[in-house]
Amino acid sequence: MKTTPPPQGLPLKVGELAVRAAAVLRRNDMGGWTRAAPTLYPHQWSWDSAFIAIGQAHLDTGRAVEEIRTLLDHQWKNGKVPHIVFNPDAPPESYFPGPEHWASAADADEAPSGPARTSGLCQPPAHAIAVRRILEVAENRGEGVAEARKFLAEAYPRLLSWHRYLATARDPEGSGLVTIFHPWESGTDNSPRWSAAMGRVEVGEMPDYERPDLGHVPDPSERPTGPEYDRFIWLVEIIKRAGCNDGVLYDTNPFLVKDVLASAILVRANEALLEIAGLIGAPEEDRCTIRAWIDRGRQGLDECWDTELGLCLDYDLRAGEPLRARTIAGFAPLIAGTGKSDRLRTLLKALDSRAFAGHPNLRWPLPPSTNPEEPEFHPRSYWRGPVWPVMNWLLWWSLIKAGEKERATRLKSCALAQLSDGRFGEYYEPFTGEPLGSDEQSWTAAVALDWLADQEGVSEKP
Ligand code: 2M8
């Protein structure tokens, strides 16, 4: 069921926006887990759930805990947290590639026992950040504190094994950077970040497939193109044929890339994990390991810095070269936290410049996912240009951590203004402010709740 959007030009008041955001999360609540969007994404997505739990924490601590618990219940034996946990009740034609397509992954040595319920990929590790924040929010609200604290102890070993998986199977080089096997693992699927590396992937023989996603958006240009999708599906084929074995994929997968955004999120997630370790009294040995991961992660990001562009770049392990695209992922050192004040200054300048939030034609001064001057920039196409509220949240949170409070507050006000039509779009056209992709996207509603609470506390009453 859709809510009626307010008449054009009439933005919602803060209280009404919070009520609507909460209603979106409730409507997408499938009982213990939340679908990422009402029709386009009928399953549980990994990093969406982390942000969703942060939003839910403002409504009900127990429900926020449950969101992460359900996801972690599907963790693989090697620690991997799967990128999708499929809804067994969703009709097969509702999403592709769905559980049937991933069924063979259930035979992988490391797959969880039981029927095929997950994909064989993973996504950026925002979960420890969410678990830590659930407690913080509970303490601020004075509700569910005991439950949130108890959950720390339950989630800690699972999060530790998730991070260990990323630090080992996804970083055999010990570089501090996370390797991904598929653009879907980055969460920024068709970003120009991956164009050069994907251009080297030759698509082989594979069965025909249908694209249900195109039926859920008003305009196909908002979604990845046919050739982009063919490459996505071909990589899924290779990953399945390798039994999702990380060692085999390291040797054979044509797409093998160090992802700076996922690596930056991992640094912050490790900081959150370290705090959790302290709160539950985990062994000093664990804490030493986590501290080492944090240091190594920051060092790895340091090495990906491009002085000429003033941004951080992903690295193509197959081609042995950096991937030179100016996208929002270039702010990875800001997201991870950098000890270098000159680097922080350079990044803040880039953020304010016409390459990102300072472009004069923007509807709101919010950073597009791709620099409008990039040749592959497209204002409507998914991760090639639109503004993503969840990225705004990450930047806002990182700015606060960097001590840039004023800048963070400005960003938050604009990000909320963008959402004030109450539609909670998946992403937004940067110049017109039109919501694109799915309406009522869960993580958009969730970050709105977190921002609104930061503003004046979330009230369910308008
Ligand atoms: C998008 O990704 C899925 C594939 O995982 C898709 O396009 O079908 C991305 O925006 C991703 O970051 C997000 O987690 C997912 C669900 O919101 O949608």
Which positions ≥6 away from 28 have C-beta within 8 Å? 34, 35, 36, 37, 38, 440, 442, 445
53 vs 207: which has the higher pLDDT: 53
Per the CB < 8 A criterion, the answer to whether 64 and 132 are in contact is no
Return d(Cα 3, Cα 445) in angstroms, integer. Answer: 13
Question: Encoding tokens for residue 9?
Answer: 């030009």
Hey, whose CA ends up nearest to atom 1 of ligand 1?
187
Cβ–ligand 1 distance for 184 under 6 Å, the answer yes
Predicted pLDDT of residue 47: 98
Q: Which atom of ligand 1 is nearest to the CA of 383?
A: 10
Closest CA to 299 of 350, 257, 328, 260: 260
Predicted pLDDT of residue 5: 53
Q: Which atom of ligand 1 is nearest to the CA of 95?
A: 8
Per the CB < 8 A criterion, the answer to whether 28 and 442 are in contact is yes
Helix 260-280, helix 145-168: angle, nearest 10: 130
Which positions ≥6 away from 29 have C-beta within 8 Å? 63
- Find the 426 Cα to ligand 1 centroid distance in Å: 10
Across the chain, mean pLDDT equals 95
Ranges 91-100, 165-174, 380-389: which has the least confidence: 91-100
Question: Encoding tokens for residue 235?
Answer: 């990589």
- Find the 147 Cα to ligand 1 centroid distance in Å: 30
Which of 24, 35, 41, 438 has most ligand 1 atoms within 8 Å of its beta carbon, as the pocket-test mutant?
41
Other beta carbons within 10 angstroms of residue 108's beta carbon come to: 19
Hey, whose CA ends up nearest to atom 11 of ligand 1?
187
Return d(Cα 274, Cα 262) in angstroms, integer. Answer: 18
Hey, whose CA ends up nearest to atom 9 of ligand 1?
187
Indicate if the pLDDT at residue 2 is higher than 80: no
Helices (H), 13-95: 14-27, 46-56, 61-72
Residue 29, phi then psi, degrees to nearest 5: -75, 120
Cβ–ligand 1 distance for 396 under 6 Å, the answer no
Cβ–ligand 1 distance for 162 under 6 Å, the answer no
Hey, whose CA ends up nearest to atom 12 of ligand 1?
187
Report, in angstroms and rounded to the nearest whole number, the Rg of the chain calculated over CA atoms.
20
- Find the 123 Cα to ligand 1 centroid distance in Å: 10
Residue 8: pLDDT band by 50, 70, 90 thresholds?
low
Cβ–ligand 1 distance for 316 under 6 Å, the answer no
What are 198-255's pLDDT values in tens digits?
A: 999 999 998 899 999 999 998 999 999 999 999 999 999 999 999 999 999 999 999 9
Q: What is the mean pLDDT of residues 174-185?
A: 98
Beta bridge partners of 44: 85
Per the CB < 8 A criterion, the answer to whether 415 and 408 are in contact is no
- Find the 112 Cα to ligand 1 centroid distance in Å: 22
Q: What is the mean pLDDT of residues 287-304?
A: 98
Q: Which atom of ligand 1 is nearest to the CA of 186?
A: 12
Residue 387, phi then psi, degrees to nearest 5: -90, 130
Cβ–ligand 1 distance for 305 under 6 Å, the answer no
Catalytic positions, please? 189, 426
- Find the 36 Cα to ligand 1 centroid distance in Å: 8
Torsion from C-alpha of 276, 347, 188, 124, nearest 10 degrees: -10
Q: What is the mean pLDDT of residues 345-368?
A: 98
Return d(Cα 384, Cα 223) in angstroms, integer. Answer: 10
Indicate if the pLDDT at residue 455 is higher than 80: no
Cβ–ligand 1 distance for 185 under 6 Å, the answer no
- Find the 439 Cα to ligand 1 centroid distance in Å: 14
Cβ–ligand 1 distance for 388 under 6 Å, the answer no
Hey, whose CA ends up nearest to atom 5 of ligand 1?
184
Q: Which atom of ligand 1 is nearest to the CA of 184?
A: 5
Beta bridge partners of 316: 257, 321
Question: Encoding tokens for residue 183?
Answer: 């653009």
Cβ–ligand 1 distance for 36 under 6 Å, the answer yes
Q: How far is CA 106 from CA 112, 133, 244, 377, 381, in A?
A: 7, 32, 10, 38, 33
Per the CB < 8 A criterion, the answer to whether 34 and 426 are in contact is no
Closest CA to 36 of 137, 184, 178, 147: 184
- Find the 239 Cα to ligand 1 centroid distance in Å: 18
Indicate if the pLDDT at residue 263 is higher than 70: yes
Residue 286, phi then psi, degrees to nearest 5: -60, -45
Beta bridge partners of 257: 180, 316
- Find the 421 Cα to ligand 1 centroid distance in Å: 23
What are 308-330's pLDDT values in tens digits?
A: 999 999 999 999 999 999 999 99
Cβ–ligand 1 distance for 52 under 6 Å, the answer no
Cβ–ligand 1 distance for 189 under 6 Å, the answer yes
For residue 144, is it left (φ>0), alpha (ψ between -120 and 50) or beta? left
Cβ–ligand 1 distance for 47 under 6 Å, the answer yes
Q: What is the mean pLDDT of residues 5-33?
A: 85
Return d(Cα 214, Cα 221) in angstroms, integer. Answer: 9
Indicate if the pLDDT at residue 4 is higher than 80: no
Beta bridge partners of 85: 44, 118
